[in-house]
Structure 1
Amino acid sequence: MAISRSGPAPAARSYSLKYRLIVMLLISSLMPLVLIGTISYSSMYAMLKNKAEAGFQSHLHQVRISLENTLAQLNHTSQQLAFDGRVGKNLEGYLIADPYQKRELREEIQSQLNLIHFTNPTLGLIFYYLGSENQTIFENFAVPSVDLSKLPKLFNFNTITYFGPHLSLNPIDGNQVLSIMRQVEIPGREDVYVYIETNFKFAESILNQSSFGSGLTHLIVDETGRIVYSDKPEDFSVGTAYADNPHFGSHGNYVRLEEKSNQSWKVIAAIPNKEYRKEINRWLGQFLLAAVLTVALSLFTAWLIWRTVYRPLNLLNLDIRRMKHSGESFSERRSRITEFAVVYREFADMRRRIHGLIGEVKQKEKSKAKLEVEKLMTQINPHFIHNTLDTVRWLARANGQKDIDRLVSMLNKVLHYNLGKTGPARIRDELEALKGYVELQGIRYNFTFDVSIQAEEEALDLPIPRFILQPLVENALYHGLGDKGVIEVDVRQEDTGHLRISVRDNGEGMTPHEISRLLGEETEEGERKVGMGIGLRYVFRTLKYQFGEEAEIHMESSPGEGTLVTLKLPVKGNKEGEAS
């Protein structure tokens, strides 16, 4: 038998139920929260981003439309003052007239300009500019000397130059204005221009009335990409290229949205990241608050469950520890929790069963001690019987009673084997005892019957429980074996590793009811029939005790056809051949 040796296995790490509940509830709470949060965040981010961009884009669109309308109005007014018309002809005459005529034309031109200004209240400063002389004429407000080349150009279109928002040339105005300078068509002169400003308050009011907070910055960029107007010059300087501004881009702190006009200039909204993500951050804050509350609720629930479970478990643990003191009495616990109520009830039943088993063990120990005493007595009685039979045998021999001598000698030998309790029993010994028993029974019943024994030589030394074959032969004698009856005993070893013993007789046989009675519980009648209190039930119980399910017992019998009893016993594992 191989014996394997190994070191002690490392103790498994134990975890508290409290922390397991916390971990499990956190996982069960956070997993859906993370999945739902991830999906919600991506969806809400896209929705809020689109909403924010749509709002900013709509605002930029209004600004662009307002500026385009203002520039279109300037263009329309400049057409009246630059092309052939009453004002244009008067201006042409004024430039070539003598001083007296100039005075009359001046009044007429001035009157016409006042009429145009009156019908267009959004217009501001208006004058004609003589480029070769750097002189302004017919200005409706007094202006100092001007340098139109320093004004921020928005774009050029043919002979028209549009200037981006700048301070009015009227020193008493001080407002941001849009302006236009257009060449006047006068034969022989190409240095005459009309300059018109418009009040920028309308467009400026659109910029300032944004519903997106004071952090929004507006930029107007010319057709070359340079900034001509900025709400926040410290971050976006006028005259610089807006595309190269460090405040834009992945590392910048502004997000930009553009609205391009038909003349290639753009209105740009520079939105601080914080303002741009305000809605997203508000939703994210609400979601994080919900997540924190969920986690807190999970922890609180875990604590409640732990508290609910801990006390019943602690009481159950206390009862288990007290089980060591078998004499201590317990009262069955109760619980309002169904599962623990069942556990308490089952534990109480188990405790009662254990105490009952302990009582049975104690009783069996007492019975065992009593049996040991009886065993000592049986060790004395066989010696007395043997000695008495030896005395009878010697008296018979001394008186020449040979039949009595032979009978007593054979009886002594059978009793010595049957009453023996120590030492191994072999098939050879069992068969020898069987032959003596058969001879005694032949003398006792005074009829002739034949016992045929067939045993393989290699099976004779195999171990076998003591006193197995005699009850089988005795069963044949008790169930109708008549004169000249035959009992066949066959012993052989099978290839399956079993020992097969069969006992067949040609007696009257038995009914199924009689077979069932023999194999059933002992009755008073059954005890009387088996002689010395040993019968088939002894054989069956002995085999069941020593071999369990490995032993097989079969009885076949019919009235008038004899009886066959077959035993199949395992050979391996019974080397000692202990007696029953």
Structure 2
Amino acid sequence: LSIRLTDPDRVVIASTNPNEYGRVIEELVVPTQMISQQSNYSGFTIYIEPSPTYLSHSLRSTLVPILGILAAILLLFGLLTITLLHRIFFPLKNLTANMRLVGQGNFKLRLDEDVCHDDDIREVYHGFNHMTRKIDDLITNRYEQLLLLKSAQLQSLTYQINPHFLYNTLQTIEAIAEVRDTPEVQIIATSLAQMFRYNLKPENFVPLSDELCHLESYFSIERIRFRDQITFEIDIAPGLYSLPIPKFVLQPIVENSLIHAFKRISNTDSAIRITGTIISDQKLILYVSDNGIGMEPNLVEALNHKLAEAGAASMIQAKESIGLTNVHQRLVNCCGAEYGLTITSHPGEGTCVAISLPLSPCTDP
């Protein structure tokens, strides 16, 4: 640095360069281009002139750290920007690619919601997974229904019998039984013909009276089979006979009672009784009760739980036999979840199956 001290007359009286003593400051440099400070007390002025090398060194020592800090800030900002873009746009890009695959028919795709760091995008991923899952379930159920339909059609064709041939055969049996004086065979043939005729009706809903007539035909055969050791009784008010009910709901339950309630017939008081009543002007309850061996409470609870699971299923399972589960599921599917079967039983006292039906017509199963 060049440092000069001048008196009030601007004459140099001290300098880092001895050759400048006694000279006016204006002869040496332009005073406005130097750093100066005048003393108010003495009138002396000090002038400081940095050399070019000092300025460049100071500039470098100050600018280099500043530029380094700026470069670090820019690098950090760039990394943050890239990270944010990756966290936002990668899930969106992944969603777009998977939506394209769904559009091509792949409904089994599921997105990993853990890759989402934003709640809104995670919600979109969740909605996408829910949508594809529902579509896949609908397609699967539809496919299974079509398979069941094809299976039912094939089974129907396999077991289809010409009704005229069947009736003619049963009438022949009946005629032979009448000639040979075997009334039991005649009753069985007549009742069996009536049952086949009823089963071949195309209607899914029939008046209660038709279902009871079908049940009477079934009773006629079972009375002979059990040699009148079991009493069958129908005690339903005639005013209920016109109510429409799904076809073929009573006989499977009665048949179930015969199979399980009377495994060992030890007395002549064995009986199955059919009753019915209207509840709250909206619901018809039919009861199939027996005085058989009954069931333990844990078994009753398990059966009612199985019925509840069957009612919650989306479709009737083809492998299920035509028994309690099948009847309950048909009633739930065609009438609603508040209808169906409920079982009560006590060991040694018997079992009662309550069939809950709507009074107003419901949809075909």
TM-score by length of 1: 0.39
Change (3 A) 1:470 1:349: closer
The residue number in structure 1 matching 2:336 is 548
Maintained 8 Å contact 1:519/1:537: no
The CA deviation string for residues 294-343 of structure 1, in whole angstroms up to 9 with x for no partner, is xxxxxxxxxx9899756754653454354221059979689965234785
Shift of residue 546, structure 1, vs aligned partner: 2.0
> Greater Rg, structure 1 or structure 2?
1
- Which residue number in structure 2 is paired with residue 488 of structure 1? 273
Is the counterpart of residue 501 in structure 1 residue 282 in structure 2? Answer: no
Measured in 2, the distance between the counterparts of 1:502 and 1:323 equals: 51
- Partners of 2:222 and 2:126 in 1: how far apart? 61
Residue in structure 2 matched with residue 430 of structure 1 by the alignment = 211
What is residue 558 of structure 1 aligned with on the other side? 346
Q: Who is 1:183 aligned against?
A: none
Pick from 452, 470, 485: which aligns with 2:251?
470
- Aligned with residue 296 of structure 2, among 504, 507, 511: 511
Q: Give the counterpart letter for 1:568 in structure 2.
A: S
* Offset at residue 465 of structure 1 (A): 1.3
Taking the aligned partners of 1:391 and 1:313, their CA distance within structure 2 comes to 77
Q: Does structure 1 conserve the Cα–Cα contact (< 8 Å) formed by 2:107 and 2:135?
A: no
Per the TM alignment, residue 464 of structure 1 is displaced from its structure 2 partner at its CA by 0.7
Equivalent-residue separation in structure 2 for 1:378 and 1:513 (angstroms): 39
Is the 8 Å Cα contact of residues 506 and 561 (structure 1) preserved in structure 2?
yes
Pairs within 5 Å for 1:504-543: 504-516=289-301, 518-519=303-304, 533-543=321-331
Q: Distance in 2 between matches of 1:332 and 1:424?
A: 47
Q: Kindly indicate whether the alpha-carbon contact (under 8 Å) linking 1:489 and 1:504 is maintained by their aligned counterparts in 2.
A: yes
Match for 1:570: what amino acid? Answer: P
Deviation of 1:497 after TM superposition, in Å, equals: 0.9
Paired AA for residue 487 in structure 1: I
Distance 1:461 1:379, change over 3 A: farther
Decide which moves more: 317-326 or 563-572. 317-326
TM value normalised by structure 2: 0.59
* Residue identity in the other structure for 2:337: E
The separation in 2 between residues aligned to 1:422 and 1:504, in whole angstroms, is 27
Q: Secondary structure at the match of 1:486?
A: strand
Q: Please, which runs of 5 or more residues in structure 2 have no aligned partner? A: 1-82, 308-319
Letter in 1 for 2:280: D
Name the structure 2 match of 1:439. 220
Report if the CA contact (8 A) 1:518-1:536 is conserved.
Answer: no
Give % identity: 28
Q: Report the CA distance between 1:411 and its aligned residue.
A: 1.8
Unaligned runs of 5+ in 1: 1-303, 523-531
Partner AA of 2:255 in structure 1: E
Which residue among 75, 96, 99 is the counterpart of 1:320? 99
When the two chains are superposed, the root-mean-square deviation of aligned CA atoms in Å is: 4.1
Determine if contact 2:342/2:353 at 8 Å carries over to the other structure: yes
User: Relative to structure 1, is the Cα distance of residues 571 and 378 closer, same or farther in structure 2, using a 3 angstrom cutoff?
Assistant: farther
Q: How does 1:247-326 map to 2 (within 5 A)?
A: 309=88, 312-313=91-92, 316-317=95-96, 319-326=98-105
1:570 maps to 2:351: no
Shift of residue 424, structure 1, vs aligned partner: 3.4
Q: Do the aligned partners of 2:344 and 2:351 also contact (CA within 8 Å) in 1?
A: yes
